[in-house]
């Protein structure tokens, strides 16, 4: 009896998990399929799932109209750059908060997180003016800096929860053996934290890759990443779904593949510290 209950439960859970998975993945699949339709078929009602004339015209048109490779390179530079700089700042910060907390550490963490609660558009004009005066408008350097700053609270929080899981005793033992602070962080803490750092890195690359407010508003022709590439294909006048889908597919493909290969780290990083 008991075994039958667990078996039905197992089945139910599997079915629910698949259903949710398909539901979440469906928009991406739909985008992918639409990118091979003609504009007319893309809006046809009822829509056809697979039985349409597959065409590569949209991809050809997108290739012809914009420089995908330039936008792609910008996206890679900005997202990797901001994540790496963020980690260099965040690892010591999270170390200090996890292992040498003071009375105010909790407040400090909350305060950092609170900066994420402000709508970005509220500081658009001041940031724009600073960028104008420092010549950072439409530069990859400027975007890297701004994305580092907005993602820093999340990086620190993730690393902090991860470091909290590491027993202080190990660090103490290292100290007993006469390890300096530098050695303690680089040779003892970091190797143990590699999975956590890896998942933080991945998640932040994805966040930076998808960031669409600052990357659209602070760029023009030179530093525009893939978000701007997508934004040039929707249109209030005329049908555009098929071309937009082609552009979106090209824009999300690299990050989707990266996500696929690093699923394990991602899930581990996100759920780490959830069970205590």
Partner 1 sequence: MTFKSGLLGMCSLLVMSGFANAETLTIATVNNGDMIRMQKLTDDFTAKNPDIKVEWVTLEENVLRQKVTTDIATKGGQFDVLTIGTYEVPIWAKQGWLVPLDKLGADYDVNDLLPAIRSGLTIDGKLYAAPFYGESSMVMYRKDLFDKAGLKMPDAPTWDFVAEAARKITDKKNEIYGICLRGKAGWGENMAFLTATANSFGARWFDEKWHAQFDQPEWKKALTFYVNLMKDAGPPGASSNGFNENLALFQSGKCGMWIDATVAASFVSDPKTSKVANEVGYALAPDNGLGKRGNWLWAWTLAVPAGSKKVDAAEKFISWATSKEYLALVAQKDGWANVPPGTRTSLYANPEYQKAAPFAKMTLDSINSADPTKPTVKPVPYVGVQFVAIPEFQGIGTAVGQQFSAALAGQKSVDDALAAAQALTTREMTKAGYIK
Q: Please report, as ranges, the residues that interact with partner 1 according to CB under 8 A.
A: 38-40, 43-45, 65-66, 77, 81, 124-125, 128-129, 132, 137-138, 140-141, 144, 216-217, 220-222, 224, 228, 231-240
Contact 184, 98 (CB under 8 A): no
Residue closer to partner 1 by CB (options 31, 183) is 31
Closest approach of partner 1 to the CB of residue 107, in Å = 34
* Nearest CB to partner 1, comparing residues 98 and 250: 250
What is the DSSP code string of 15-76? HHHHHHHHHHHHHHHHHHHHTTS-HHHHT-SSPPSS-S----HHHHHHHHHS-HHHHHHHHH
**Bond from prior residue into 46 cis (ω within 30 degrees of 0):** yes
DSSP structural state of residue 274: S
Please, what is the minimum distance in Å from the beta carbon of residue 224 to partner 1? 7
CB of 66 to partner 1, least distance (A): 8
Q: Which is nearer to partner 1, 169 or 237 (CB)?
A: 237
> Whole-number minimum distance, CB 144 to partner 1, in Å?
7
Are the C-beta atoms of residues 184 and 247 closer than 8 Å to each other? no
CA pair distance 221, 252, nearest whole angstrom: 21
Nearer to partner 1, 143 or 193 (CB): 143
């Amino acid at each position: 009896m008991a075994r039958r209950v667990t078996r039905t439960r197992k089945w139910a859970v599997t079915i629910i998990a698949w259903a949710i998975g398909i539901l979440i993945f469906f928009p991406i699949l739909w985008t992918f399929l639409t990118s091979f339709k003609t504009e007319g078929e893309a809006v046809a009602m009822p829509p056809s799932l697979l039985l349409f004339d597959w065409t590569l015209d949209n991809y050809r048109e997108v290739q012809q109209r914009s420089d995908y490779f330039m936008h792609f390179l910008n996206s890679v530079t900005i997202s990797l750059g901001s994540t790496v700089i963020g980690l260099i700042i965040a690892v010591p910060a999270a170390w200090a908060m996890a292992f040498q907390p003071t009375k105010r550490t909790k407040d400090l963490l909350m305060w950092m997180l609170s900066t994420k609660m402000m709508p970005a558009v509220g500081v658009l004009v001041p940031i724009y003016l600073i960028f104008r005066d420092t010549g950072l408008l439409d530069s990859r350097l400027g975007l890297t800096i701004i994305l580092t700053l907005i993602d820093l609270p999340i990086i620190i929080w993730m690393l902090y929860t991860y470091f909290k899981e590491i027993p202080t005793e190990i660090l103490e033992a290292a100290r007993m053996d006469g390890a300096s602070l530098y050695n303690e962080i680089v040779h003892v803490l970091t190797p143990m934290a590699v999975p956590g750092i890896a998942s933080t890195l991945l998640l932040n690359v994805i966040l930076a890759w998808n960031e669409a407010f600052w990357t659209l508003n602070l760029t023009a022709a030179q530093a525009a990443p893939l978000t701007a590439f997508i934004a040039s294909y929707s249109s209030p006048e005329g049908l555009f779904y098929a071309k937009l889908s082609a552009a979106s597919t090209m824009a999300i493909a690299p990050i989707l593949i990266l996500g696929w290969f690093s699923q394990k780290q991602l899930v581990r990083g996100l759920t780490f510290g959830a069970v205590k």
